[in-house]
Amino acid sequence: MEKNIVHQNVELKSFNSWRVGGKAEQFLICDNIAKLALHIKSKKIKPPITYIGLGSNLLIRDGGVKGTIIVMHGGLNKINRDGKLLYAEAGVSCSKLSRFAAKEGFDESAFFAGIPGTIGGALAMNAGCYGSETWEYVKKVLMIDLNGDQIIRNKSNFKIDYREVNNKDESFLGAWFQFPNGNKEDAKNKIKELLSHRKKTQPLNWPTAGSTFRNPKDNFAAKIIEDCGLKGFQIGGAQVSKKHANFIVNLGNASALDIEKVIDHIQQVVLKKKNITLQTEIKIIGEKFGS
């Protein structure tokens, strides 16, 4: 599909890791920030605007998405060293940043290899795993606002919480990261070890969106769900993974509604049995059929 062109009524199943959902009213793959800004300023892009990367932390409903979907992955993929910092555009995969940082002799980037998304998404939700989070290493970011204006902001401009970042009406175009110096081979080995552990513990052979729920304080969503006997629970083609209970897999024919029903069922059962309100880590967008 041609980049930097606004397309109409584009099927979104190919643009999210659950492989479900309806169509985008308008759709654009961005690989040029200046052209994106111009599209916004000239009002060629219909609001609301939704930016996505690999769509790996996203449930797109079957009725599709109003306004415009802008895809960063496949376009904004610039990554380079900037003095003592690393700069990565929003479309760069987290695993690519991890490998690049290791190659440059930096330490503590391995956890990024375990995040199945892009830098833009990781910044927006303070993604993390294995005890580390994105914003621990962010120095400053490049934003774009609803008028198409670009702004560089420091970390201190944001309120950052667990899986949550207050970014007002601005969206992430890129970020400068600061990692401690390390040993190249040690950094590469840490990535290999993490990926091996991930392969053993997560259902990577099925379409999923990563962890579905946030971990409650001092607890793990996967353990709570498993303790409630929900591993393997299924509605339509959507199933609670038998390998990792915080993953919902698409067995091949799931609809977004199937997945959303499984999410709702998990929340209801956990609340009833454990008196715990599980909050989703994934973002749900779009319209239900008939709405």
Extents of the domains making up the chain: 7-71, 79-199, 221-285
| Distances, alpha carbon 285 to alpha carbons 48, 125, 175, 206, 248, in Å | 11, 15, 25, 21, 17
51 near 45, Cβ under 8 Å? no
Q: Which pLDDT value is given to residue 131? A: 86
CATH architecture assignment, domain 7-71? 2-Layer Sandwich (3.30)
Whole-angstrom distance, CA of residue 51 vs CA of residue 47: 11
Q: Which pLDDT value is given to residue 123? A: 97
From the list 89, 133, 260, 281, the catalytic residue is 281
Tokens representing 187 are 């950094």
- Reported in sequence order, the residue ranges of 72-209 that DSSP labels E, i.e. its strands, are 79-82, 85-89, 128-129, 132-133, 138-145, 150-154, 159-161, 164-166, 170-177
Q: Which pLDDT value is given to residue 119? A: 97
Q: What is the pLDDT of residues 64-108, one digit of tens each?
A: 999 999 999 988 999 999 999 999 999 999 999 999 999 999 999
From the list 19, 61, 99, 163, the catalytic residue is 163
Helix, strand or coil, per DSSP, at residue 139: strand
Respond yes or no on whether the N-terminal peptide bond of residue 48 is cis (omega within 30° of 0).
yes
pLDDT at 24 over 80: yes
Whole-angstrom distance, CA of residue 234 vs CA of residue 258: 9
Q: Which pLDDT value is given to residue 169? A: 87
What is the rounded average pLDDT of the residues 178-200?
A: 92
Q: What value, to the nearest 5°, has the Cα angle with vertex 107 and ends 102 and 111?
A: 80
Residue 211 falls in the annotated catalytic set: yes
Tokens representing 74 are 């496949």
Residue 14 falls in the annotated catalytic set: no
Tokens representing 63 are 């009725």
Q: Which pLDDT value is given to residue 167? A: 79
Q: Which pLDDT value is given to residue 19? A: 98
What is the rounded average pLDDT of the residues 241-250?
A: 97
pLDDT at 289 over 90: no
Residue 170 falls in the annotated catalytic set: no
Whole-angstrom distance, CA of residue 132 vs CA of residue 137: 9
Q: What is the pLDDT of residues 205-230, one digit of tens each?
A: 999 999 999 999 999 999 999 999 99
CATH 3.30.465.10, domain 79-199, yes or no: yes
Tokens representing 46 are 């219909």
Which pLDDT band holds residue 21 (cuts at 50, 70, 90)? very high
Q: What is the mean pLDDT of the chain?
A: 95
What is the rounded average pLDDT of the residues 5-22?
A: 97
Task: Name the class of domain 221-285.
Answer: alpha beta
From the list 93, 98, 211, 255, the catalytic residue is 211
